[in-house]
């Protein structure tokens, strides 16, 4: 076996991330770290967008529920007034 046939082992990306420097990494390892960081940044942005959309949906639902609750309260108050007026007229 010649040295050309021996491929250096590529270390795990988690090990490479803890090194804090690219010094001592092979080109393949550097590419692995850069790809990992790019993918992480893309996924972080997607996650932020998903959370933002969920918050907007939640706020819209809260607003709709508040309007429904207010409408129900208004109707209840109206019915109670009518009942009260009917009772007062019967006396």
Q: What is the pLDDT of residues 41-91, one digit of tens each?
A: 999 999 999 999 999 999 999 999 999 999 999 999 999 998 888 776 666
When pLDDT is averaged across residues 8-19 and rounded to a whole number, the result is: 89
Task: State residue 88's pLDDT score.
Answer: 67
Q: Is residue 1 part of a domain?
A: no
Q: Is residue 43 part of a domain?
A: yes
Task: State residue 3's pLDDT score.
Answer: 55
When pLDDT is averaged across residues 12-40 and rounded to a whole number, the result is: 92
Question: At 43, which helix (H) or strand (E)?
Answer: helix 27-90
17, 33 contact by CB (below 8 A): yes
Q: Is residue 2 part of a domain?
A: no
Domain of 58, in residue numbers: 13-86
Task: State residue 91's pLDDT score.
Answer: 61
Number of domains in the chain: 1
In this prediction the pTM is 0.53
Q: Is residue 61 part of a domain?
A: yes
């Amino acid at each position: 076996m010649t040295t050309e046939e021996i491929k250096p082992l590529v270390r795990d990306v988690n090990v490479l991330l803890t090194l804090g420097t690219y010094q001592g990494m092979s080109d393949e390892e550097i590419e692995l770290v850069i790809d990992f960081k790019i993918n992480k940044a893309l996924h972080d942005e997607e996650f932020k967008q998903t959370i933002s959309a969920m918050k907007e949906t939640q706020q819209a639902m809260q607003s709709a529920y508040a309007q429904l609750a207010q409408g129900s309260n208004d109707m209840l108050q109206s019915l109670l007034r009518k009942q009260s007026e009917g009772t007062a007229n019967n006396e």
